């Protein structure tokens, strides 16, 4: 235990006393904030000129319309209230002259066979294929309004026939707010954040081991401590550093946002389960222990850091799988696929956090998943510790994924 503590303290000291660690930990959020602050506090004129370089502003918001079909007889009264101004022109010459005078930004052309062909044109000086989709709702509204003979009530029913109130009869599954973008964005953000946390902390382990192997310090270390003590000490130390780093990022972001008079209160508009932070710590520690041990094994086997990092791709695949199915996991957190991927210990740390953030799931699911992960982490630490034998560390041969797993289970 004393030796584990010794390894732990040495590893923390080695990391924390490096200027690069503080530059990265404190510098990154500060630089991001300074860029944001610099831009938002720039004077009105300079801000406008920067914005103009990035995205030229448009002063005129009126669109032209040439209607050769005769379908349009009047515009709905609420069109201008929604910020859409349409100016009718008799022909393309006059519409193009208005474009040149910058009285309109673009114009629509309804050909004589509009109803038969079902096709109209949008003519724009800054051609962008996506323009055809961005303004569609207003033009569709004008067309629908005129096709139903100017009956606004009927037109609105035809255009958008229902507003849905979702009522769940299940006590375990409260109704989701399908219209709230945060219902998707929050679990999505938490998933990505979690993936990055585990991956970056586990990568620190890979660098640490492969560096010590390359400069041969590890051989000296293994004379004084057992591989198991070395591995546990390093895992705990780097896990604590990873968590502290994340805490510092969140803390700095909060303080800087407060200082600048802003706030980011997701909880106000979206309910995050209160126990999510507790589960977050549990699944981070377990997920990190599994991946950091695997990375440590890669570091011990590969002759250099570059070859070790090639091996990590294989390990990371199970962690990426939940990201592929993120939509399914968020929309159906209690579905079969969601349950399976959150019980497999290699994909569980990310998948279970997505499910926990997405909705109510039975309590025994995260508990069982955590137990499976704890057992897996324990077994992997024992197996990987065996890889730290002198001949494995000294071999220097090229390491393939198959060799890695063969060595892992051969002892």
Partner 1 sequence: MQAKFWFVALNEYRKHVFQKRFILAIISVPALLSVSFLVGFLTEYLTRNLDPVGYVDQAGVLADNNPVPEEVGNSNKVEFLAFEDQETAEQALEAGEIQAYYLIPTTYFETREVDLIYIKEPGDNAESDFFHFLRTNVSGDLPERERMLVLDGFDVTVRSVDGSREFNEKQIFNLILPIVFGFLFTFVLTSGSGYLSNAVTEEKENRTIEILSTSMSANQFILGKVLGIVMVIFTQVISWIIFFVIAFFGARAAFDAEWIDAAQIDFNLLLILLLLFIPAFFFFSGIALTISSMVTDSSEGQQAIGIVSMPVGFSYWFAYLIISNPGSTVSVILSLIPFTLPTLMPLRLAFGVVPWVQIALGIGIMTLCAFFTIWLAARAYEMGMMQYGKRIRLRELLWNSTKGGGKK
Chain positions contacting partner 1, by CB under 8 A: 53-56, 96, 99, 114-133, 136, 140, 143-144, 147-148, 153-154, 156-158, 160-170, 173, 176, 178, 304, 306, 324-325, 327-328, 331-332, 334-335, 337
> Cβ(111)–Cβ(118) under 8 Å?
no
Residue 339 host element (H or E): helix 336-343
The Cα 306–Cα 321 span in angstroms is 24
Which CB, 141 or 288, lies closer to partner 1?
A: 141
- For residue 81, CA distances in Å to 75, 76, 78 come to 12, 10, 5
Which CB, 146 or 369, lies closer to partner 1?
A: 146
Q: Which residues pair with 265 in a beta bridge?
A: none
> Cβ(300)–Cβ(392) under 8 Å?
yes
Residue 76 half-sphere exposure toward CB, CA atoms < 13 A: 26
Which CB, 128 or 410, lies closer to partner 1?
A: 128
Written as six digits, the tokens of 67 are 């209607």
> Cβ(205)–Cβ(375) under 8 Å?
no
The Cα 22–Cα 242 span in angstroms is 13
Written as six digits, the tokens of 212 are 């010590």
Question: 213 in helix, strand or coil?
Answer: helix
C-beta of 406: minimal distance to partner 1 in Å? 20
> Cβ(144)–Cβ(79) under 8 Å?
no
Q: Quick count: other Cβ atoms within 10 Å of Cβ 208? A: 21
C-beta of 160: minimal distance to partner 1 in Å? 7
C-beta of 205: minimal distance to partner 1 in Å? 21
Which CB, 112 or 154, lies closer to partner 1?
A: 154
Residue 65 host element (H or E): strand 62-67
C-beta of 149: minimal distance to partner 1 in Å? 9
CA angle 279, 294, 287 (to 5 degrees): 5
Which CB, 6 or 270, lies closer to partner 1?
A: 270
C-beta of 213: minimal distance to partner 1 in Å? 15
C-beta of 138: minimal distance to partner 1 in Å? 12
C-beta of 387: minimal distance to partner 1 in Å? 23
Written as six digits, the tokens of 153 are 């009530």
C-beta of 24: minimal distance to partner 1 in Å? 18
Which CB, 10 or 176, lies closer to partner 1?
A: 176
The Cα 360–Cα 381 span in angstroms is 33
> Rounded to a whole number, what is the distance in angstroms from the first to the last CA of the chain?
25
Q: Which residues pair with 88 in a beta bridge?
A: 65
Which CB, 107 or 199, lies closer to partner 1?
A: 107
Which CB, 149 or 261, lies closer to partner 1?
A: 149
C-beta of 112: minimal distance to partner 1 in Å? 15
The Cα 201–Cα 235 span in angstroms is 9
C-beta of 299: minimal distance to partner 1 in Å? 16
Q: What are phi and psi of 62, to 5 degrees?
A: -95, 140
Which CB, 39 or 160, lies closer to partner 1?
A: 160
Which CB, 81 or 126, lies closer to partner 1?
A: 126
């Amino acid at each position: 235990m004393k030796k584990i503590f010794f390894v732990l303290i040495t590893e923390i000291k080695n990391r924390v006393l490096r200027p690069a660690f503080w530059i990265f930990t404190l510098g990154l959020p500060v630089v991001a904030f300074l860029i944001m602050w610099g831009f938002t506090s720039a004077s009105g004129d300079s801000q406008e000129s920067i914005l103009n370089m990035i995205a030229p502003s448009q002063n005129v918001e009126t669109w032209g319309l040439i209607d050769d079909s005769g379908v349009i007889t009047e515009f709905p009264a609420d069109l201008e209230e929604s910020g859409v101004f349409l100016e009718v022109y008799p022909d393309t010459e006059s519409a193009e002259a208005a474009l040149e005078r910058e009285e309109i930004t673009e114009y629509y052309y309804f050909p004589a066979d509009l109803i038969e062909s079902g096709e109209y044109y949008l003519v724009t000086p800054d051609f962008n294929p996506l323009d055809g989709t961005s303004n569609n709702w207003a033009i569709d509204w004008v067309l629908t309004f005129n096709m139903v003979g100017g009956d606004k009530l009927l037109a609105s029913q035809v255009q958008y026939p229902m507003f849905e109130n979702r009522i769940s009869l299940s006590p375990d599954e409260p109704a989701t707010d399908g219209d709230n973008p945060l219902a998707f964005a929050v679990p999505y953000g938490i998933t990505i954040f979690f993936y990055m946390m585990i991956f970056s902390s586990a990568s620190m382990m890979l660098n640490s081991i492969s560096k010590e192997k390359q400069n041969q310090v590890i051989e000296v270390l293994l004379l004084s401590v057992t591989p198991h003590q070395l591995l546990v000490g390093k895992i705990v130390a780097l896990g604590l550093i990873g968590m502290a780093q994340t805490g510092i990022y969140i803390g700095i972001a909060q303080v800087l946002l407060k200082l600048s008079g802003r706030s980011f209160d997701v909880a106000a508009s979206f309910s995050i389960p209160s126990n999510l932070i507790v589960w977050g710590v549990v699944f981070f520690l377990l997920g990190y222990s599994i991946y950091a041990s695997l990375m440590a094994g890669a570091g011990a086997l590969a002759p250099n850091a570059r070859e070790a990092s090639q091996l990590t791709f294989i390990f990371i695949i199970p962690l990426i799988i939940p990201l592929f199915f993120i939509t399914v996991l968020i929309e159906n957190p209690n579905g079969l696929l969601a349950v399976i991927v959150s019980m497999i210990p290699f994909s569980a740390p990310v998948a279970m956090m997505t499910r926990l953030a997405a909705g109510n799931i039975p309590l025994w699911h995260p508990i069982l998943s955590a137990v499976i992960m704890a057992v897996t982490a324990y077994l992997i630490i024992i197996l990987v510790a065996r890889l730290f034998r002198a001949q494995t560390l000294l071999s220097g041969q090229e390491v393939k994924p198959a060799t890695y797993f063969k060595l892992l289970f051969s002892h």
